[in-house]
Structure 1
Amino acid sequence: MAKGKSLNSLMAHLRNKHNIDISGSKNKLDLMNMGYFHGFKGYRFIGQPNNRIPLTKFDELAAIYKFDTQLKTLLYPHIMFIETAIKNYTLNTLIKDCNSDFEYIFTHKLIDHKSENIGNSKYREKMKKRLDLKNKILSSIAYNYADGKDVIKHYLHSNKPVPLWAVFEVINMGEFGFFLQCLELKYRIEISDVLNVHTTSHNQNGRILEDVIFLLKELRNAVAHNGVVFDCRFKKTNPPSRLTSYIESETSITNIRFINIIDYFILMVIILKKLGTPKREIQKLLRDLENHSENLRTQIPIPIHTSIMGSDFRKKLTKTKSYI
């Protein structure tokens, strides 16, 4: 049975096997804090494991690790704010002047499948998504009831239907994205209009918001579970062209591909602005990003910094500041 290595042995392994300059109490403490597997193995490449970063000093890897932590600290509160705010805009649109319980909304407003001919492939696909969504929401209600969530217990113990706002309290960001996806067209457009993101040229069928939610969901999960974010390896799918076209039209920033973290900041800036976030708060977000990036640039070789941030980072940052 293979034996584990002590911290000193791991440092020797990094020197002898990986040609990494690592020594002294500071490097030892950094390695202990970040961990060999989470730290060194997680941060020695960009995007894909075969795209190794040509590191020669452990201090360089520690700087990237610290930068990644700083990114997560910046991103998390804004992602959570965006999720909560868009849920509230959706809630306000759907329950005004009508029954607010989930079953009513499911029956009368989560009916995107009706835009297709009954029985064709698109109808069946949309119907399946709708039914899958209901199963996920009911599972979330059951889980939170078993977990003692007061808001769910109250309605179930009172033999009352669970209202939509309570459902939004317990579903995750991905499930909310599917909720938006299943909404009838007129409601998708109404919510988009309220947020001023609906355009006939880019927001076909009012689907920009669900695109935003699905894209930020992957980032949110990585941030919340302490995954690596600096190189966007959390991205599972490419965003639809309607979203990238909308972002480029809205900001006049080109080459939006979400392969560098700056593109996620650009998207968040757009949504934060639409939600009425004070300009000084958005400016601080970008200023902090710029400062963290500049600090990283002084601690690692410039070509590595360019590979991480993208060759057009400064150009995009400047244009984003102008957009604000």
Structure 2
Amino acid sequence: MKKYKTLDEQIELLRERGLTITDASKTKRYILTNNYYNIINGYSKYFCSSPNKYLPSATFDEICNLYYFDKEMKNTLFQAILEAEGHIKSIMAYRFSEAYQNKKYAYLDINSYDSKKILDVSFITSKLFKIINNKKTKKSTSIHHYYNNHGDVPIWVIVDYLEFGDIVSLIENLPVNIQNKISRDLLSFINENLNQECTFTPEQMVSFLKNIREIRNICAHNNRLLEFTCKSDAKFFDNLHSQYNLAPNSRRRNVYSTFCLLSCFISKIEFAKLNNTIRKRMRTLDKKLSSITINTILDKYGFPKDWHERGPLSQ
């Protein structure tokens, strides 16, 4: 059983392990307000030469800077994913409405989905029904307005009440003809960002969205992003991955891979902002590291060596 340690004891332990702490009072305040476990257990290992032994020049400030950088990475990626989420919700709602015009509550009908995926569809329709049932009596909601004034809640209304994972599941279970239209609509982003004409399959689209969803969850719950890997490799998309030096046999499940995938779901300006913000954050961190190099950290996110030294994208 781990014994309770005072702030002074925690600092003394770090010093015994070779970590340089220049301002004990400031460090105690930081540990108290930011959680010793999250900072030390989550980020200090990158400054160690062996278990429980820090590199000769490692400092507490370096660990804090890496901890803060990871938070900035999560915030930056999360904002870009919200942009992608908005785009994909809008496209999906439009194409679904187009396919089932004038059919009330079409998204509650299992016949509106792929007939081969009945069990998954039942889960989705059940959740949609619960959302409507819960919100229809709340006067401040758009669901209440449409339910009581129009006798229907269109899909473009209910999508705003769905989580990103729900949207991904919904798209994954749509008929192939609707999936094809959605993936073709995304080509406006893809062709713009890649500067080339290409094709984009529903299988690739769903695979990309699943990995983006995993990164989104890490960011939303403020878990450690550094070294995170998704459950599966994203489907290989030659037009995209070749531009980022990711081969068919490359692992495509890390943060860098997911960063690349976002270019398929956001505009050129939005992706440039994402790219440039991350680059700026990396360059700042580089100046604050002394015991290790920035490339050690870039590698843990999956970014290529010296990626931060590349020029910014035009905004």
TM-score of the superposed pair, with normalisation by structure 1? 0.76
The Cα of 1:102 is off from its aligned counterpart by: 6.5
Q: Which residue of 2 aligns with 1:22?
A: 21
Deviation per residue, 1:174-226 (Å, 9 max, x gap): 1100100111111111111122169xx9744x233222221111111221221
Q: Does 1:168 align with 2:159?
A: yes
What letter is aligned with 1:248?
H
The answer to whether the 8 A contact 2:113-2:175 is kept is: yes
- Paired residue total: 298
With over 3 angstroms needed to count, the CA separation of the structure-2 counterparts of 1:261 and 1:69, relative to structure 1, is same
Residues 7 and 32 in structure 1, CA contact (< 8 A), matched pair in contact too: yes
Structure 1 spans left out of the alignment, 5+ residues: 114-122
Q: Verify: 1:231 aligned to 2:227, yes or no.
A: yes
CA RMSD of aligned residues (A): 3.7
Provide the rounded CA distance (Å) in 2 between the counterparts of 1:40 and 1:136: 40
- Percent identity (aligned): 20
Change over 3 Å in CA distance of 1:306–1:185 after alignment to 2 = closer
Preserved contact between residue 19 and residue 54 of structure 2 (Cα < 8 Å)? no
Q: Deviations along 1:255-282, whole A, 9 cap, x unmatched?
A: 5534543322222234223xxx43xx53
Q: Deviations over 1:68-111 (max 9, x none)?
A: 11112212221111101111011122213853667324437742
1:71 aligns with 2:73: yes
Change beyond 3 A, Cα 1:32–1:311? same
Cα distance in 2 for partners of 1:184, 1:73 equals 34
Q: 1:58 aligns with which of 57, 60, 64?
A: 60
1:263 equivalent in alignment to 2:257: yes
Cα distance change of structure 1 residues 6 and 248 upon mapping to structure 2, 3 Å threshold: same
1:127 corresponds to which of 118, 123, 138: 118
Distance 1:185 1:45, change over 3 A: farther
Correspondence for 1:185: 176
Secondary structure of residue in 2 paired with 1:272: coil
1:150 aligns with 2:141: yes
The answer for the alignment partner of 2:240 in structure 1 is: 247
**Pairing of 1:97-116 with structure 2 (within 5 A):** 98-99=100-101, 103-107=105-109, 110-113=112-115
Unaligned runs of 5+ in 2: 192-197
Q: What secondary structure does 1:96 align onto?
A: helix
Shift of 1:26: 3.2
With over 3 angstroms needed to count, the CA separation of the structure-2 counterparts of 1:94 and 1:100, relative to structure 1, is farther
Q: Does the 8 Å CA contact 2:203/2:235 hold for their aligned counterparts?
A: no
Residue 67 of structure 1: CA displacement?
0.7
Residues 136 and 144, structure 2, Cα contact 8 Å, conserved in 1: yes
Contact kept? 2:87, 2:265, Cα under 8 Å: no
CA distance in 1, matches of 2:305, 2:61: 23
Aligned residue for 1:218, secondary structure, equals helix
What's the counterpart of residue 119 of structure 1? none
Q: Tell me if the contact between 1:101 and 1:161 (Cα under 8 Å) persists in the aligned partners.
A: no
SS at match of 2:180: helix
